[in-house]
Structure 1
Amino acid sequence: MSKVNSGPSIYIPTDKNIFDALQHKKVTQGELVSFLSRRGILVSRNISKQQLTEKICAMTLSYSDFNWVAKLLENPNRKDKTTHSKLKGDVEYSQISSACATVKANLTASSDDSVKLTKNGDKTTLTITYVDHDFTKTELRQRTVKTCEIQIEQADDGVVMKLPSTRKAKEVSEQLKSIMKAQVIEAGGAELEECSISLEALCDATIRSQFFDHLIRSVPGFEFDNVSSVDVYHFEKEQRDEFEEDDESDARLASYINKAALAGEGVLDSTEFKQLHKQGFYIYKIIWTAVEDSFEGPKVEFEAQFGKPDSCTDFKYTVRGVYQYNSRTAEHNVTRRATTLYENEEYNLKIKDASEKALEIVIGKFGA
């Protein structure tokens, strides 16, 4: 497909679009004062933001002025949750490289995406910079420049693909997997088997909750500390009659509520959680802390969930932050700091390993 050349957009924001945009908290009063000063209008810094906004909206704005407003409102490239999948089979590096090159060519030909391909040892990384649009937001807040990295690492039994849990990354990863599968078959190899973390075949609520119980207690190099938040789900295949007489209050509760969230110290030991669990609710999202086994190791807060709670598919996870150990007080700090790039990659790898181990345990115990 050849790239379609088109001219610039003729969209011009209305006065209301500009007013709504300038009212956002990301647009500071100082930014508005600076804008007016560049136009030769001097105002007091004590003037209200409302008055500044009304003054600017009454002015004739140029294309560069629209870009200035849009730039102020662009969302930062926030840290997305991570997911992974595995293609089991005999995959050569040349096939991985060829698949990445094909996807890169397709993306650059059909869009304005910037794609970079790098290799470091057994790891091949496809970095894509693209513009994401969210049309649920006001006009000047819809555009966000994002970057996603898809890592393809060769393993003994195939390749592991790690990627952000975003729509763009999933679309690109599906293209990569499709091309690699076709190349392996064309080369005379066996069909690649795709494996991911899923509890869709395990429909029992207790089993699904046990997956998370094994997960939080089996992170390599960490000792489980505490669960601070759980989200539970109840899926009933057959809807009950609203007026059906039922002496069991648990069944009536489950027929009206299918989601619940609990937060606080020791959530798993709370009476409320145990009551919901008995009624057929199961965990689909959990936030917990664990302490690193090393001397004066930090306490790390993890999060894991299934994006589709009814089927327990679309598994994703993230590292929320680190509580550093304070040798002076002999306790961990109460303030959480963000992880470094190295820590984020290391801890995400540990969650990946723990999730695979937890899935293996529940499948081995209950079958699938």
Structure 2
Amino acid sequence: MGLLIMRSLHSVTDKALDDVLNQSEITLNELRELFLARGILISKETPRKDLARNFSKFSHDYYDHQKIASYIGSNNRREKLTAKVIATKLEVDEIILAAEKLKADIESRNDLCQISTIDGKVRLNVSYLSTNYGKSDFKQVITKTALIEVEPSEKGFLLRRPENEQTQEYEDVFLASLEHIVASRSAEGEKQESLNVKEISLEHINTPKLRTKFFVKLINGLKGYVLDDVTDAYVYHPKPEKIKEQDGNTETGIHIDRASLKGEGVLKSEEISSLYERGFYICKIKWRAKEDLVDPDIYEFEAQFSDQGNFKDFSYLAKGVKKYKGNGQYNKNFVSLSKNEETFFAKLIESAAYSIIMEIEKEKA
């Protein structure tokens, strides 16, 4: 039960509790549940501010805070995914051994981890406490879950995880364990074998045109789907060395390094064309694609390189689907995808991205 150990630096104040209960994000039914859990019935006629003030006077604990945090949606944000290919030849047993070492490391932090295997795929389901003291009291310390998957691929094993600092730490521990396992396979006196890890990156190709080409080919390259439209494009321009060396706020030292364009058809706009001419390249994009079928559903995607200057740390997300109703009509809103659909599109994007990287590298060579 290590996850229940509190690791916050302070407790929530009565005022913070009063403030959060006055937010419209918490419904009156949820307020009623809080009181009912203490054996108290409340009237529909009682003003919210009175209910909040009275509840904040009660003693409250970790479980109360977690329940209230769940009401204000602190755990609902879906994170982008990121992936790497482990190209070194490995056995599933070696993957499991490294996973068990990561599990031990996670549990040493008083977090929870479960390992499961099926058809050569190793999964780690992790529950951990995430802290962000820049947020309001009830969003500073929240329980998050993460699925880390290692599955066989044509190139070796593919490691997929949510894109955030915590799972990056887990990945580092896992890969370090694998590195040690691979090195230990070498006989005494032989050169130690090293772990070969490949990621989706154009760090060594800094041509703006080729970096933009990656995204243009990606949004047009999902097998079985046809580009419908681009809704958001974010472009980046690294700061030139001359400006980096400038001191003071002279006119020649001014440099705009990023811009965003929103709206349908942004890749066809004159604005983005002019940015291309000035050396900008796309670093993040949101787009929609239709199934290559009669009466297709519309899917929404997002992809980016978080390290914009080096064009690395690639992440992606299948955001949702707008269902086709018939007679040329669609549902009004996009809805979330199932876990199986998310995994399907993750593999589709990964496959397309790796192929495009290889193509661009050959073109540059």
Q: Could you state the TM-score of these two structures normalised by the residue count of structure 2?
A: 0.87
- Distance in 2 between residues matched to 1:102 and 1:93, nearest whole Å: 14
Give the match's secondary structure for 1:116.
strand
Distance 2:9 2:331 in 1: 53
Alignment of 1:50-69 (within 5 A): 50-57=49-56, 59=57, 61-64=58-61, 67-69=63-65
Offset, 1:93: 1.4
SS in 2 for 1:190: coil
**Matched residues in 1 for 2:170 and 2:33: separation?**
42
Give the match for residue 154 of structure 1: 152
Matched, 1:288 2:287: yes
Contact 2:301 2:320 in 1 (8 A): yes
Deviation at 1:8, TM superposition (A): 9.1
1:195 maps to 2:198: yes
What secondary structure is seen at the aligned counterpart in 1 of 2:336?
coil
The 5 Å alignment of 1:96-135 reads 96-108=95-107, 110-135=108-133
Match of 2:94 in 1: 95
Aligned AA for 1:191? Answer: S
Q: Any unmatched runs of 5+ in structure 1?
A: 246-251
* In 2, Cα distance between equivalents of 1:111 and 1:162: 22
Q: d(CA) in 2 for partners of 1:165 and 1:9?
A: 23
**Structure 2: segments with no counterpart, 5+ residues:** 187-191
Q: Residue 219 of structure 1: which of 218, 222, 230 is its match?
A: 222
Share of identical aligned residues, percent?
27
Alignment RMSD (CA, Å): 2.6
Against the structure 1 CA distance between its residues 93 and 41, is the aligned structure 2 distance closer, same or farther, given a 3 Å change threshold?
closer
In the alignment, the residues of structure 2 paired with residue 7 and residue 315 of structure 1 have an alpha-carbon distance, to the nearest angstrom, of: 33
1:42 positional shift: 6.2
Q: Distance in 1 between matches of 2:97 and 2:33?
A: 51
SS of residue matched to 2:233? strand
State the match for 1:357 in structure 2: 355
Counterparts of 1:12 and 1:282, CA distance in 2: 46
**TM-score using structure 1 length:** 0.87
Q: Which amino acid aligns with 2:206?
A: C
CA contact (8 A) 1:21 1:69 kept: no
One-letter amino acid of the structure 1 residue matched with residue 173 of structure 2: Q
The yes-or-no answer on 1:235 pairing with 2:238 is: yes
Pairing 1:330–2:333 present: no
Whole-angstrom distance in 2 between the partners of 1:153 and 1:6: 33
Corresponding residue SS for 1:131: strand
What is the CA–CA distance in structure 1 between the aligned matches of 2:170 and 2:285, rounded to whole Å? 28
Code of the aligned partner of 1:323: K
Deviates more, 1:337-346 or 1:14-23: 14-23
Measured after TM superposition, the shift of residue 120 of structure 1 is 0.9
CA–CA distance in structure 2, aligned partners of residues 134 and 53 of structure 1: 25
Q: Per-residue deviation at 1:41?
A: 6.7
Q: What is the deviation of 1:9?
A: 7.9
